[in-house]
């Protein structure tokens, strides 16, 4: 099948689904009708992607998105996944409906899927600000501390409500930290030394640093862990809350201003200004409701294995892949 620049993409996809002659991604992409004009980019990432799955995804999006060209992403197979970039035109501007559909299609085919009007460039210096708990690391540190004080269930319940945006973050933090009174500082050392890094975080950081990006943590968690991760991962900046310690034990108080959603958002702005990074080259990643302002303040807001409300409002969402999947939503 030769390239046909006039064939309707939906006809091509339906014919492909019925005919199924292309047995490889290379053949599918080589034969796909190609046009030049586009307004948005759809990124599809998963392991062992097939032409059948890719065409099914595009057909499911067809009422909203008209593909103009299909190509391999510049990081296709760099970390093991197949990554395809589809350029095209958005037919409808109902963001809520589109985001809902993106989530449904992602779940239907167990893929990571993103729709973007613009993308930061990997090869141009940029800024990534990350949440810490359940983003850079796979635990909530405050919940782990609480378990040692036998108040784990109580604190975890408040944490979950705060992450879903059901209660104010400052209120939830003060309540949870009060439950930690008299826990010995040695417990923090125990947790710090066994922090489980989220899969893909080192690949993400190494790749961004190689391209002169600045990297930071902005966390509603605690300096005891955030400052440690800054040094361990070679980050440029970290901001978080400080637990008060007296006589070798926690007092149940937080010292200084609380790092909440507003402070996280301001961190994006101030660091970009400090390092002279244009807004178009800023990105933020997190999993909870208190990360939404930070994401909205950046050019690219990435939800990472996040709560539903965060997936719906973020620019894109990593639902299946590891942290390095953020790189698939960057241009060359």
- The domain spans of the chain are 9-116, 127-329
pLDDT at 227 over 80: yes
pLDDT band at 8 (very low <50, low <70, confident <90, very high): low
φ, ψ (nearest 5 deg) of residue 206: -60, -45
Among 12-26, 117-131, 169-183, 277-291, the minimum mean pLDDT is found in: 12-26
Q: Which two tokens stand for residue 55?
A: 């065409």
pLDDT at 291 over 50: yes
The confidence score (pLDDT) of residue 6 equals 39
The confidence score (pLDDT) of residue 332 equals 94
Domain 127-329: give its CATH architecture.
3-Layer(aba) Sandwich (3.40)
Rounded Cα gap, residues 58 and 276, in angstroms: 38
Among 25-29, 55-59, 154-158, the minimum mean pLDDT is found in: 154-158
pTM of the predicted structure, to 2 decimals: 0.91
Give the residue from 149, 225, 230 showing the smallest Cα distance to 182. Answer: 149
Q: Where are the beta strands (DSSP E) in 39-132?
A: 40-46, 65-72, 82-90, 112-116, 127-130
Mean pLDDT of the chain: 90
The confidence score (pLDDT) of residue 34 equals 81
Contact between 277 and 214 (Cβ < 8 Å): yes
- How many other β-carbons are positioned within 10 Å of the β-carbon of residue 317? 27
The percentage of residues in the chain with a pLDDT greater than 70, rounded to a whole number, is 93
| Superfamily of domain 9-116, CATH level 4 | ACT domain (3.30.70.260)
Q: Do the domains 9-116 and 127-329 sit in the same CATH topology, yes or no?
A: no
Rounded Cα gap, residues 22 and 224, in angstroms: 54
Residue from 11, 19, 107, 131 carrying the catalytic annotation:
131
Mean pLDDT of 98-115: 95
The percentage of residues in the chain with a pLDDT greater than 90, rounded to a whole number, is 70
pLDDT at 31 over 60: yes
Rounded Cα gap, residues 180 and 299, in angstroms: 37
Rounded Cα gap, residues 45 and 80, in angstroms: 10
pLDDT band at 146 (very low <50, low <70, confident <90, very high): confident
Residue from 133, 143, 287, 291 carrying the catalytic annotation:
133
131 is catalytic: yes
Q: Give the tens place of pLDDT for each residue, 187-201.
A: 899 999 999 999 999
Per-residue buried b or exposed e for 184-207, using 16+ beta carbons within 10 Å of the residue's own CB: eeebbeebbeebeebebbebbbeb
Mean pLDDT of 294-322: 95
8 is catalytic: no
Q: Which two tokens stand for residue 14?
A: 């339906």
φ, ψ (nearest 5 deg) of residue 39: -120, -25
């Amino acid at each position: 099948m030769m390239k046909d620049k006039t064939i309707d993409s939906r006809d091509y996809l339906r014919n492909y689904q019925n005919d199924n002659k292309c047995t490889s991604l290379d053949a599918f992409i080589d034969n796909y009708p190609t046009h030049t004009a586009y307004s948005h980019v759809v990124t599809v990432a998963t392991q062992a992607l097939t032409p059948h799955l890719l065409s099914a995804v595009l057909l499911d999006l067809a009422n909203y998105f008209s593909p103009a060209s299909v190509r391999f992403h510049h990081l296709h197979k760099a970390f093991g996944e197949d990554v395809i970039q589809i350029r095209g035109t958005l037919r409808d501007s109902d963001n809520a409906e589109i985001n809902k559909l993106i989530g449904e299609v992602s779940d239907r085919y167990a893929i990571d899927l993103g729709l973007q009007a613009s993308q930061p460039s990997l090869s141009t210096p940029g800024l990534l600000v990350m949440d810490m708990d359940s983003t850079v690391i796979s635990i909530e540190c405050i919940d782990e501390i609480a378990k040692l004080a036998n108040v784990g269930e109580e604190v975890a319940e408040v944490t979950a409500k705060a992450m879903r945006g059901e209660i104010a973050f400052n209120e939830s933090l003060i309540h949870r930290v009060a439950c930690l009174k008299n826990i010995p500082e040695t417990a923090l050392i125990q947790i710090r030394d066994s922090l489980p890094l989220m899969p893909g975080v080192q690949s993400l950081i190494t790749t961004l640093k190689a391209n002169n990006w600045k990297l930071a943590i902005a966390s509603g968690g605690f300096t005891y862990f955030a400052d440690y991760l800054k040094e361990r991962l070679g980050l440029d900046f970290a901001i978080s809350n400080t637990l008060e310690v007296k006589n070798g034990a926690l007092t149940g108080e937080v010292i200084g201003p609380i790092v909440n959603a507003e402070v996280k958002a301001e961190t994006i702005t101030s660091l970009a200004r400090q390092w002279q990074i244009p807004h178009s080259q800023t990105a933020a990643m997190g999993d909870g409701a208190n990360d939404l302002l930070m994401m909205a303040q950046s050019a690219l807001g990435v939800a990472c294995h996040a709560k539903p409300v965060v997936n719906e409002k973020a620019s894109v969402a990593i639902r299946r892949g590891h942290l390095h999947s953020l790189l698939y939503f960057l241009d060359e």
